[in-house]
Structure 1
């Protein structure tokens, strides 16, 4: 099945190819979206000027003059070396209204790809609650999961549990050796908040006393040797923290299909095989008993990638290579969501995977950290603002905002709406920015009912629902969408028609912010339509039915888009 705007674009591409062939050349046809008022699709002739020995303006004129009436193209205009294409608006209106109402919950989804994707995200050290600085990882990762599934992929979501590092060893040592009575009370009744105190105290003692540092280092080495007693001690410590992390993420509707434990690749011999293969690869060198790969020959500066220590134990990245080889055998595509501080390590892992002939290499989505106006955060040093705190504050603020607007609602209903607005504002305010750009989380932006925010989009959806409660429109009812001729109606229809393209672009580029920004545009345009085009008082009955159908199509598109962002589409606000 092809969507209406896709058929229009396909017709434009075919026309361009045929026109270029007539002019005596062939080449890649790149279609662009022109500025407002310049058409719906555009083709730049500049790359063909040298080949055809003509100015681009002349080429554009010749292509445009060859246009004859077609199914989806309304008109073609040559302007300053561009060929601008205008869609047949009546055809687009009818086709879009029909297909959105027919497909409903699946509108915007793409054909099945018959490919499996493993998306690994969050994978935070299970030593304490998630802090705001790392909150972008699970939100970005979960949104990618939703988009990939909607785009037709079979997706498995994984959390890679680091149960062999010094952090979890410090946690386990702290629980075993520190008297809870000597610690400050936990900030809340939740396992991750309770146990992080042991980790923070152990980390402090590790910095102050060499003997404690040695004890914790010994735990790490015993894990590497596969000491089952020590591994079980560590598992018992971190599992409670992991339960707390899962509870926090479930508040944002984020879940995992599988938790993969790092030590499993030591236990089954995979890590030993990686070390052996890298040593035999011809790229490995030895220095003071430690094996490394010189990154210089791979264009990564003067860095050395050590995959063993001098005592023969391996590093986190070495075990990560084993994990990726395991994943590569189980999926067609691998997506990793990582903080920008992991760029070097990710490159080292990628190079090692290439050396070892991995079946599939991971695509990495890097993100910059979230900060509050006060600056960055650290779990180790106890200077963190936790994700739980952010969600709680969002709930309190959202409740007050909703109460100001809807004092007529019961307290129970106010709280229900506030919860959806709160989780929505946290997710949206993080996802609307490109992953690689920094975010300073500001409440005035996140809860702005008039700006680029979740509440603004949720309110547009609620408004559409309110209109449709006053006068229903049946799904099987035939609609004459060609009556929708007002400028604001046409603009809204064109936006709705582009939703499948936005889903595809967001998936291919791993940029979920495209969906967020698109929904803001739809909500904004819906408000313009609502202002200028009376729906229930349209006058003409057929026009009223057509406008009600357009409202319904907007509701469907906003709902489907919000679900991709993990945000509830409220029917009342």
Structure 2
């Protein structure tokens, strides 16, 4: 409804400006200031004041008259009128807007847009399989999963990929160390009882050996490491299997960690795939034949000055072995063949590499307009016991453990009476602690613009009163509580399965009986949700959804304080408010799900 209303406003204003022989390139349509009772406004009068030689309020009045004429002549479904508030044009909705919003909101899938018949691959996380996932990289799976979710909700056919670096020197060192050393050679026990924490000790041992052993021993080790790299390059099956023995074990543990967020993947695409199928060699041959290719410093390189990049891209070593970027070029050409769009989530330290990749793909005659990157800054560590872990760094698992522990303490404090009275079991407390703790981490990370650095603060992330995940999760729990009370009192539930005894006839609910400002403001926020999804997907910015959840949570809490539902004055008003609660529940649940935050049914 809001999307259509916005479209009708754009049409009416553009036609009115054209009728006045005024430019239509900037309509100035925006959310009005809070003190204005309107859903959409236009500040175009500010831009046009100089051109017309009049004050903005006078210009707004003239434009409003022209807009009103357009509305009178048109057959708009949701745009009913335009008013003037100083320099602003305020656009008003029809009664059908409220009815249709409420009727749509009680659908459990509310907010999901129509199928676009467009395939998108979202590649994210892709941490090297050398050990546990570090907390500094936690932003990648959280942002990546939310980007994929919002695209899915917006009607795209989404695949989630993890690109596995299984061909570089790191994996050759890891494989050599795993085959060379045994448990007695390792100094410390695993930091956690999971396979990647166990095996990373071999990787660390191998690196320390290469730094500290006698030169002749290091030379022998380097020869073996180089033979592994050459074996992969040559497509030797035995070498491939040796490396995969390590890669697959470490990756399985990393998947267990990511499942805690959760962040799921449709496919783990291995780098060696593009060596084994010949596409990496084909890329190198095509680049060597290009005019931008030069052989300098014992390597083949591309000069990318034409793209404003002053650092050459090295794509082939003197010994004929490829580099990570060469293989990633083959990977990206494959993605462009398989998908309509390709989105990659990258840390800020990969920006130069991404620019080089895009320029090179353009040299190779690819349509780089179908490639999009989401660049993020890193997460600074919280204070407290997270600061050290026996010198091994802080892992994502550590952050999630502490989040759950802190959430459990908060839940037990807040729900002490209910726990004492046996209303909540230990399992309930544990469920809520996981939902709140993990939700707090995800929400705090995804709610910030990706390019801005984050300093994680526990007190803010777990604040039930502030605009955090628990604050919004509590709105969903409140909605569920009201609906449960209604069901217990045999009051028909709007949006329930029409075959059930507790179903209400949605078509009989009149949204226009919702006369309080709080109810109408809440309904207005609900109406915006599909447009929020559309905007977040268009801009690849899931934090837009997070900002929206704070607004609808505020609106719901105002409604909750001022508008009794089950004890409303009339059955008609009760049913309308109950429908509004139902629509709020679905909207909040779907918005939180896009962000990867669980919507609890009780808190």
CA offsets, 1:268-318, max 9 Å, x none? 111111111111121111113311111222211x31111112222111111
Greater displacement, 79-88 / 145-154: 79-88
Partner residue in 1 for 2:17: 20
Instruction: Please report how far the alpha carbon of residue 80 of structure 1 lies from its aligned counterpart in structure 2 after TM superposition.
Output: 5.6
Structure 2 residue corresponding to 1:416, chosen from 418, 425, 431: 431
**Equivalent residues in 2 for 1:203-282 (5 A)?**
203-209=207-213, 210-211=218-219, 212-213=221-222, 215-282=224-291
Structure 2 residue corresponding to 1:328, chosen from 326, 336, 339: 336
Partner residue in 2 for 1:350: 358
**Does the residue aligned with 1:308 lie in a helix, a strand or coil?**
strand
Instruction: Please report how far the alpha carbon of residue 47 of structure 1 lies from its aligned counterpart in structure 2 after TM superposition.
Output: 4.5
**Equivalent residues in 2 for 1:387-426 (5 A)?**
387-406=396-415, 407=419, 408=422, 409-426=424-441
- Take 1:460 and 1:182, find their aligned partners in 2: how far apart are those partners? 54
Query: Given the superposition, is the C-alpha separation of residues 303 and 242 from structure 1 closer, same or farther in structure 2, using an over 3 Å criterion?
Result: same
Structure 1 residue corresponding to 2:164, chosen from 155, 161, 168: 161
**Does the residue aligned with 2:316 lie in a helix, a strand or coil?**
coil
Whether the 8 Å contact between 1:111 and 1:151 is mirrored in structure 2 is yes
CA offsets, 1:403-448, max 9 Å, x none? 2222241112211222222221221111111111111222212211
- Take 1:152 and 1:436, find their aligned partners in 2: how far apart are those partners? 26
Query: Given the superposition, is the C-alpha separation of residues 312 and 449 from structure 1 closer, same or farther in structure 2, using an over 3 Å criterion?
Result: same
Q: Is residue 147 of structure 2 the alignment partner of residue 144 of structure 1?
A: yes
Instruction: Please report how far the alpha carbon of residue 105 of structure 1 lies from its aligned counterpart in structure 2 after TM superposition.
Output: 2.2
Query: Given the superposition, is the C-alpha separation of residues 233 and 378 from structure 1 closer, same or farther in structure 2, using an over 3 Å criterion?
Result: farther
- Take 1:288 and 1:387, find their aligned partners in 2: how far apart are those partners? 40
Instruction: Please report how far the alpha carbon of residue 53 of structure 1 lies from its aligned counterpart in structure 2 after TM superposition.
Output: 6.6
Whether the 8 Å contact between 2:494 and 2:579 is mirrored in structure 1 is no
Partner residue in 2 for 1:188: 192
Structure 1 residue corresponding to 2:119, chosen from 116, 119, 122: 116
- Take 1:45 and 1:218, find their aligned partners in 2: how far apart are those partners? 71
Query: Given the superposition, is the C-alpha separation of residues 76 and 134 from structure 1 closer, same or farther in structure 2, using an over 3 Å criterion?
Result: same
Whether the 8 Å contact between 2:411 and 2:433 is mirrored in structure 1 is yes
**Equivalent residues in 2 for 1:345-384 (5 A)?**
345-360=353-368, 361-373=370-382, 383-384=392-393
Structure 1 residue corresponding to 2:102, chosen from 97, 100, 114: 97
Q: Is residue 387 of structure 2 the alignment partner of residue 386 of structure 1?
A: no
- Take 1:206 and 1:321, find their aligned partners in 2: how far apart are those partners? 31
**Does the residue aligned with 2:108 lie in a helix, a strand or coil?**
helix
User: What's the TM-score, normalizing by structure 2?
Assistant: 0.89
**Does the residue aligned with 2:89 lie in a helix, a strand or coil?**
strand
Instruction: Please report how far the alpha carbon of residue 545 of structure 1 lies from its aligned counterpart in structure 2 after TM superposition.
Output: 1.6
- Take 2:22 and 2:322, find their aligned partners in 1: how far apart are those partners? 57
Whether the 8 Å contact between 2:105 and 2:586 is mirrored in structure 1 is yes
CA offsets, 1:340-394, max 9 Å, x none? 100000111100100001145420001111121369x999x95321111222222
User: What's the TM-score, normalizing by structure 1?
Assistant: 0.93
Instruction: Please report how far the alpha carbon of residue 224 of structure 1 lies from its aligned counterpart in structure 2 after TM superposition.
Output: 2.0
**Does the residue aligned with 2:526 lie in a helix, a strand or coil?**
helix
Greater displacement, 319-328 / 169-178: 169-178
Partner residue in 2 for 1:87: 93
- Take 1:331 and 1:51, find their aligned partners in 2: how far apart are those partners? 47
Instruction: Please report how far the alpha carbon of residue 9 of structure 1 lies from its aligned counterpart in structure 2 after TM superposition.
Output: 1.4
Structure 2 residue corresponding to 1:5, chosen from 2, 5, 12: 2
Structure 2 residue corresponding to 1:464, chosen from 479, 493, 497: 479
**Does the residue aligned with 1:105 lie in a helix, a strand or coil?**
coil
**Does the residue aligned with 1:311 lie in a helix, a strand or coil?**
coil
**Does the residue aligned with 1:307 lie in a helix, a strand or coil?**
strand
CA offsets, 1:154-196, max 9 Å, x none? 1111111111111111211211112222321001110011111
Q: Is residue 296 of structure 2 the alignment partner of residue 287 of structure 1?
A: yes
Partner residue in 2 for 1:566: 596
Q: Is residue 527 of structure 2 the alignment partner of residue 497 of structure 1?
A: yes
**Does the residue aligned with 2:317 lie in a helix, a strand or coil?**
coil
CA offsets, 1:211-252, max 9 Å, x none? 245543443233222232222111001110000011111122
Instruction: Please report how far the alpha carbon of residue 565 of structure 1 lies from its aligned counterpart in structure 2 after TM superposition.
Output: 1.6
Whether the 8 Å contact between 1:265 and 1:323 is mirrored in structure 2 is yes
Whether the 8 Å contact between 1:12 and 1:85 is mirrored in structure 2 is yes
